[in-house]
Amino acid sequence: MAQLEIRNVTRRFGDFVAVDNVSLSIEAGEFFTLLGPSGCGKTTILRMIAGFDLPDAGQILLDGKDLADTPAEKRPVHTVFQSYALFPHMTVAQNIAFPLRMARRPAAEIAGMTRQILEQVHLTDKADAYPHELSGGQKQRVALARGLVNRPRLLLLDEPLGALDAKLREEMQIDLINLQRDVGITFVFVTHAQVEALALSHRIAVMDQGRVAQVDEPARLYGYPKTRFVADFIGHINQLEAQVVESTHGHLRLAVAGLGEIIAPPLKDAAVGTKGVFAIRPEQVRIGVHGELDELKNHFAGVVHNLLYRGEVSIYQVELANGAVVEALLPNSAPGKAELFMACDEVKLGWRHDAGMFLRD
Amino acid sequence: MTEPARKLVTAARLTKWVVSGPPFLFLLLFFVIPGIIMVLASFRYPGEFGGLAPLTAADPATLQGVTLETYRFFFSDPIYGQVFVKSIFMALATTLICLTMAYPLALLIARSPKKSRDLMVLLVILPFASNFLIRVYAWMIVLGPQSALSRLVNGLLHGLGMEPVHLLFSPFAVLVAMVYVHLPFMVLPLYTNLEKHDPSLLDAAQDLGASAWQRFWRVTFPLSLPGIFSGSALVFIPVLGMFAVPDILGGTGDMLIGNLIKEQFLGTRDWPFGSTLSIMLTIAVLLIAWLAARLAGRRGSYG
């Protein structure tokens, strides 16, 4: 039995359906992420789990018990807010002790638990500081400590890294992973940043317009997106309009207008004539000069259109014969040699027959 | 420093003087200098027909020179201390009643939708549109012996077998009008404070297990202390020196410091003693303000 069960939950605001018949089940100890663009309903789901909002239809069950009649302050669920929402008139220690005091724990226990969690988030020396004396990263850690100290069944995190700068965000990601593993509490994390979601989560639910598009582990979500939306939202992906011309157990043969045929991994129930896109990640596309890559089943000639130098990698945008632009990613592992090809160079693109996937319209 | 940089600095300095000059002059002329005159006057003898006695006179029988007589007089008769204590109690009562009435109102306005807030604030300050004295006189009619209110109260008292009471010309009438006049001065600073509270703090408190009552006492109330202190100062200090309201609505026994001071200047024409009373009032206000600031400082050391 899952720890948190969301069953057919719907939430409307006027005519707008913010959450549309969503069902999810989250296991105990899991780091679960709701990922999607703004307005996809992920924050509404979080607010309904916390108890700030109620579903119009459906049920939310925690440990098998329906939460409908439990007000927010009675739910064993705590939230880390995007703005941190630290109490400005309380010190760090008082902020952290707040949920313990609300739970009427004895004073000695409060002191001990506060000290322990302060150590865990490395803020022992800041116990008597006020929130306005802390840096962004420190505030973030206080908010986490305050959410965790009373050991809730669930910790909800609403874009908690959104306000931090890029460098700090990366450090906090590692801290979060370690903290979650140490405390063993189920995390439900909401974000629109797919990089964050991939790095942190055990499982991710990608949401689109109030519905769950796909729930999967990060690597499966990235490698085997089920819809064009998911493929497009998670990372970069090249897409070529295609139609199935042959479908066997071993492979798919796809026709791409103006380009030719592509051999792709097989797809169940893909009937001849089905329209869709062939999608392939830039790092799976190889780039070379004429005469190279001929051993690959899929190879096409093209012209380098643009070159994006990213430091660790370079991205080559290559225009194919039919006008479609395909990106190929090359790591810059050879020292001092970043630009292997220049704009307007005639090149060859190729990829293995088992790379990429066909996504139906 | 380069020439353009120097010009910039000179212009900034000039702007500072031009902008702060007029208010500075105004306060100097009408606050600092009269204050000094008052302090000096308190150490003199009263003149025969008001004003001050000369510093030196040819006739040794006339009062002259500098003296501590007024201060000695102030402390020799307990009646003055009693008037001070009574005035401070009146000011405290007014402040507390204003606070308990203004807080829910300010909270209501601060948590209303943004577009209706301005209208509600306008309604709070609307009484200022009519003259202060007219509003105080209106209370004479409301509290007069023939008024509906008086008849209702005395009717109820009669029903309970008790003696009828006079609402007008009583400490009660003074208190009611004091609260009425000063209520907006409490509502506005409280509203200004409460409106700035981050609503996510209340969400966080609720999320962490605080009931509605605990959310108020542990989050909203402590955060509103600066508003409570400034509102209380804006009510307490004017009430302490108020003479018009007790003059109009108070009985003969309801003299407050303000009336006492006014009486010295316009009635008995004893300017030195009037000045002494004013100085004692100022000292009392400063003492209370210092105490309040210490209390506030202990709680609110956050930014």
A132 touches chain B (CB under 8 A): yes
CA A114, CA A49: separation in Å to the nearest integer? 26
CA distances from B45 to A92, B65, B66 (A): 61, 8, 7
CATH number at residue A251: 2.40.50.100
Residues contacting A144, CB < 8 A, separation 6+: A80, A121, A160, A176, A179
Q: Which residues partner with A25 through β-bridges?
A: A5
Size of chain A, expressed as the number of residues it contains: 361
3-state secondary structure of A161: coil
Report how many domains make up chain A: 2
Least CB–CB distance from A87: residue in B207, B209, B219: B219
- Final residue of a domain: which of A195, A210, A232? A232
Say whether both A339 and A292 belong to one domain.
Answer: yes
3-state secondary structure of B146: coil
Tell me the pairing of strands A203-208 and A211-216.
antiparallel
CA B9, CA A353: separation in Å to the nearest integer? 72
CA B177, CA B238: separation in Å to the nearest integer? 13
CA A288, CA B227: separation in Å to the nearest integer? 71
Say whether both A212 and A340 belong to one domain.
Answer: no
Nearest to B102 by CA among B22, B23, B181, B213: B181
Residue in B with minimal Cα distance to A94: B218
CA B159, CA B167: separation in Å to the nearest integer? 18
CA atoms within 13 A on the CB side of B171: 11
Say whether both A218 and A249 belong to one domain.
Answer: no
- Amino acid at the residue A151: R
CA A246, CA A273: separation in Å to the nearest integer? 9
pLDDT in tens, chain B (303 residues): 678 888 888 888 999 889 998 999 999 999 999 999 999 999 988 887 777 887 777 777 777 778 888 899 899 989 898 999 999 999 999 999 999 999 999 999 999 999 999 999 999 999 888 898 899 999 999 998 888 898 999 889 999 988 888 888 988 999 999 999 999 999 999 999 999 999 999 999 999 999 999 999 999 999 999 899 889 989 999 999 898 898 889 877 778 899 999 989 888 888 899 999 999 999 998 988 888 778 766 655 454
CA distances from B243 to A206, B133, B144, B264 (A): 71, 12, 20, 13
- Final residue of a domain: which of A202, A232, A262? A232
Say whether both A173 and A63 belong to one domain.
Answer: yes
The confidence score (pLDDT) of residue A42 equals 94
Say whether both A41 and A173 belong to one domain.
Answer: yes
The A77-80 sheet, strands edge to edge: A77-80, A154-158, A186-191, A31-35, A203-208, A211-216
A128 touches chain B (CB under 8 A): no
Say whether both A114 and A187 belong to one domain.
Answer: yes
Judge contact between B239 and B182, C-beta under 8 A.
Answer: yes
Say whether both A223 and A264 belong to one domain.
Answer: no
- Amino acid at the residue A92: V
The confidence score (pLDDT) of residue B303 equals 42
- Final residue of a domain: which of A232, A266, A285? A232
Least CB–CB distance from A73: residue in B206, B218, B302: B206
* Residue A91 distance to chain B (closest CA, Å): 9
As given in the structure block, the two tokens for residue A208 are: 């689109």
A99 touches chain B (CB under 8 A): yes
Q: Do A103 and B223 touch (CB under 8 A)?
A: no
Sign of CA dihedral B122, B123, B128, B129: positive
Say whether both A157 and A25 belong to one domain.
Answer: yes
The tens digit of pLDDT for each residue in A63-96 reads 999 999 999 999 999 999 999 999 999 999 999 9
Angle in degrees, 0-180, between the axes of helices B33-41 and B271-299, rounded to the nearest 10: 120
CA A10, CA A17: separation in Å to the nearest integer? 8
Q: Which domains does chain B possess?
A: 79-299 (1.10.3720.10)
Number of other residues whose CB lies within 10 A of the CB of residue B265: 16
**pTM for this structure?**
0.82
As given in the structure block, the two tokens for residue A112 are: 């001990």
Question: Chain A neighbours among B 185-214 (CB < 8 Å)?
Answer: 198, 200-201, 203-211, 214
Say whether both A222 and A249 belong to one domain.
Answer: no
Quick one: pLDDT band at residue A225, thresholds 50, 70, 90? very high
Q: Where in the sequence is the domain holding A292, given as residue range(s)?
A: 236-360
CA B275, CA B52: separation in Å to the nearest integer? 11
CA B173, CA B139: separation in Å to the nearest integer? 8
B14 Rama sector, left if φ>0, alpha if ψ -120 to 50, beta otherwise: alpha
The confidence score (pLDDT) of residue B92 equals 94
Residue in A with minimal Cα distance to B206: A73
The confidence score (pLDDT) of residue A221 equals 93
Angle in degrees, 0-180, between the axes of helices B78-110 and B69-76, rounded to the nearest 10: 80
Residue A50 above 90 pLDDT?
yes
Q: Do A89 and B223 touch (CB under 8 A)?
A: yes
Q: Do B206 and A72 touch (CB under 8 A)?
A: yes
Sign of CA dihedral B124, B128, B132, B135: negative
Residues of A in contact with B221 (CB under 8 A): none
Q: Do B303 and A132 touch (CB under 8 A)?
A: yes
Residues contacting A264, CB < 8 A, separation 6+: A251, A252, A253, A254, A278, A353, A356, A357, A358
Interface with chain A: mutation pick from B202, B207, B211, highest number of A CBs within 10 Å: B207
Q: Do A150 and B211 touch (CB under 8 A)?
A: no
Exposed / middle / buried, residue A1 (Cβ in 10 Å: 0-12, 13-18, 19+): exposed
The confidence score (pLDDT) of residue B298 equals 60
Judge contact between A292 and A341, C-beta under 8 A.
Answer: no
Quick one: pLDDT band at residue A191, thresholds 50, 70, 90? very high
Say whether both A109 and A20 belong to one domain.
Answer: yes
Number of other residues whose CB lies within 10 A of the CB of residue B172: 16
Long-range Cβ contact pairs of A21-28 (< 8 A, separation 24 or more): A21/A57, A21/A58, A21/A211, A22/A58, A22/A207, A22/A210, A22/A211, A22/A212, A23/A58, A23/A212, A24/A205, A24/A212, A24/A215, A26/A2, A26/A186, A26/A188, A27/A2, A27/A3, A27/A186, A28/A2, A28/A3, A28/A186
Residues of A in contact with B222 (CB under 8 A): 89
Tell me the pairing of strands A252-256 and A325-331.
unpaired
C-alpha angle B108-B112-B118 in degrees, rounded to nearest 5: 100
CA B291, CA A12: separation in Å to the nearest integer? 54
Number of other residues whose CB lies within 10 A of the CB of residue A336: 5
CATH number at residue A128: 3.40.50.300
Say whether both A173 and A43 belong to one domain.
Answer: yes
Sign of CA dihedral B53, B57, B63, B64: positive
CA A171, CA B176: separation in Å to the nearest integer? 62
Nearest to A45 by CA among A22, A69, A71: A22
Say whether both A227 and A276 belong to one domain.
Answer: no
The confidence score (pLDDT) of residue B288 equals 86
* Residue B221 distance to chain A (closest CA, Å): 11
The confidence score (pLDDT) of residue B183 equals 94
CA A58, CA A56: separation in Å to the nearest integer? 7
C-alpha angle A39-A54-A203 in degrees, rounded to nearest 5: 55
The tens digit of pLDDT for each residue in A299-340 reads 898 999 888 888 888 899 999 988 899 999 988 877 766 667
Alpha helices in A76-135 (DSSP H): 92-102, 107-120
CA B120, CA B110: separation in Å to the nearest integer? 10
Task: Give the residue-averaged pLDDT of A163-168.
Answer: 84
Q: Do B210 and A102 touch (CB under 8 A)?
A: yes
For chain A, percent of residues with pLDDT exceeding 70: 99
CA A96, CA A87: separation in Å to the nearest integer? 10
Nearest to A246 by CA among A255, A238, A236, A237: A255
Task: Give the residue-averaged pLDDT of A153-162.
Answer: 92
Judge contact between A26 and A185, C-beta under 8 A.
Answer: no
* Residue B302 distance to chain A (closest CA, Å): 6
